[in-house]
């Protein structure tokens, strides 16, 4: 028993370490971009998404990597890292696809519908991952995922105000489209990755329910047969009366009457 527990613990540790790789790598990239801006004394804001302009469409590839200030970067880093680790740890089979589609969908929708300005920052990804984790836990009805959803709500529930145009210098469109992308992906990938746990008592209950349905179906068939027999008897009351069968036998030639 102890060896099995050790194996499970070792596998969990391996999964955790592997779940840290890509989130740390992505975090390193966005920090290197900001360090490069600071050292070189340049700004990469013009590489963000600018809606409606053809050259602004290129920003779909770069907008989550660029931040307007160090405060902007710092405020996004912790949430982005924690939510990314949650995606890769609990949704390993679809983690990269969730990352890619949230990145792409939110960027394109910003370019199509947002205000005429440069839109930058990884907030769209943060809202997308938070929405995905929250709604995916509810849809899948998995205990661990529901607990993760509640944790996301507790830590980042105040983010919901970010989807409204409250602050003029905040890209609420990026937040809104990121959240919508997360909801869509939670629905689309609902059958992939961890599912609702099925316990033994649930299986027994399902088996008992199936047998009860079979018994009720059989009783319905028997009732239908009895009704049909009763109907036939009411139409022809002699249907069950005994039949008299007469047998005729020829007399033998030597037999006298």
- Share the mean pLDDT of the chain: 81
Q: Is the pLDDT of residue 68 over 80?
A: yes
Task: For residues 9 and 80, state if they share a domain.
Answer: yes
Task: For residues 42 and 107, state if they share a domain.
Answer: yes
Q: Is the pLDDT of residue 228 over 80?
A: no
At residue 110, the pLDDT reads 96
* DSSP annotation string for 175-241: HHHHHHHHHHHHHHTTTSSS-----HHHHHHHHHHHHHHHHHHHHHHHHHHHHHHHHHHHH-GGGGS
Q: What is the CATH number of the domain that holds 181?
A: 1.20.1540.10
The percent of residues above 70 in pLDDT, for the chain, comes to 72
**240 within some domain:** no
Kindly state the average pLDDT of the residues 74-99: 92
Task: For residues 222 and 149, state if they share a domain.
Answer: no
Q: Is the pLDDT of residue 240 over 60?
A: no
**107 within some domain:** yes
The pLDDT tens digits for 204-217 are: 556 666 767 677 66
CA distance linking residue 118 with residue 235, whole number of Å: 86
CA distance linking residue 233 with residue 82, whole number of Å: 77
**177 within some domain:** yes
Q: Is the pLDDT of residue 199 over 50?
A: no
Task: For residues 182 and 206, state if they share a domain.
Answer: no
At 190, the pLDDT band (50, 70, 90 cuts) reads: confident
Task: For residues 216 and 148, state if they share a domain.
Answer: no
Nearest of 182, 155, 150 to residue 142 by alpha carbon: 150
**221 within some domain:** yes
Task: For residues 35 and 139, state if they share a domain.
Answer: yes
Q: Is the pLDDT of residue 57 over 60?
A: yes
Task: For residues 208 and 136, state if they share a domain.
Answer: no
The CB density around residue 18, as the number of other CB atoms within 10 Å, is: 12
**254 within some domain:** no
**249 within some domain:** no
Kindly state the average pLDDT of the residues 50-74: 93
Number of structural domains found in the chain: 2
Domain of residue 213, residue span = 200-232
CA distance linking residue 176 with residue 51, whole number of Å: 15
At residue 88, the pLDDT reads 93
Kindly state the average pLDDT of the residues 109-121: 94
Kindly state the average pLDDT of the residues 58-84: 93
Task: For residues 112 and 20, state if they share a domain.
Answer: yes
Task: For residues 152 and 218, state if they share a domain.
Answer: no
Task: For residues 13 and 121, state if they share a domain.
Answer: yes
Task: For residues 181 and 226, state if they share a domain.
Answer: no
Residue 161 structure tokens: 């105000």
Q: Is the pLDDT of residue 99 over 80?
A: yes
At residue 15, the pLDDT reads 79
Task: For residues 163 and 227, state if they share a domain.
Answer: no
**251 within some domain:** no
**257 within some domain:** no
Q: Is the pLDDT of residue 224 over 50?
A: yes
């Amino acid at each position: 028993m102890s060896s099995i527990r050790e194996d499970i613990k070792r596998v969990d540790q391996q999964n955790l370490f592997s779940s840290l790789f890509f989130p740390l790598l992505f975090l390193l990239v966005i920090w290197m971009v900001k360090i490069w801006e600071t050292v070189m004394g340049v700004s990469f804001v013009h590489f963000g998404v600018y809606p409606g302009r053809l050259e602004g469409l290129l920003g779909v590839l770069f907008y989550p990597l660029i931040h307007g200030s160090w405060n902007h970067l710092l405020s996004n880093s912790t949430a982005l890292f924690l939510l990314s680790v949650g995606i890769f740890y609990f949704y390993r089979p679809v983690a990269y696809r969730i990352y890619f589609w949230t990145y792409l969908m939110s960027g394109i929708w910003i370019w199509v519908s947002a205000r005429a300005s440069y839109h930058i920052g990884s907030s769209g990804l943060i809202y997308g991952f938070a929405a995905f984790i929250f709604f995916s836990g509810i849809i899948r009805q998995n205990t661990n995922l529901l607990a993760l959803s509640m944790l996301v709500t507790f830590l980042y529930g105040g983010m919901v105000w970010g989807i409204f145009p409250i602050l003029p210098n905040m890209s609420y469109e990026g937040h809104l489209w990121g959240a919508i992308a997360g909801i869509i992906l939670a629905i689309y990938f609902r059958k992939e990755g961890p599912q609702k746990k099925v316990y033994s008592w649930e299986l027994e209950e399902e088996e008992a329910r199936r047998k009860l349905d079979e018994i009720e179906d059989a009783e319905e068939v028997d009732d239908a047969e009895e009704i049909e027999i009763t109907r036939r008897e009411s139409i022809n009351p002699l249907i069950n009366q005994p039949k008299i069968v007469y047998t005729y036998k020829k007399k033998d030639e030597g037999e006298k009457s």
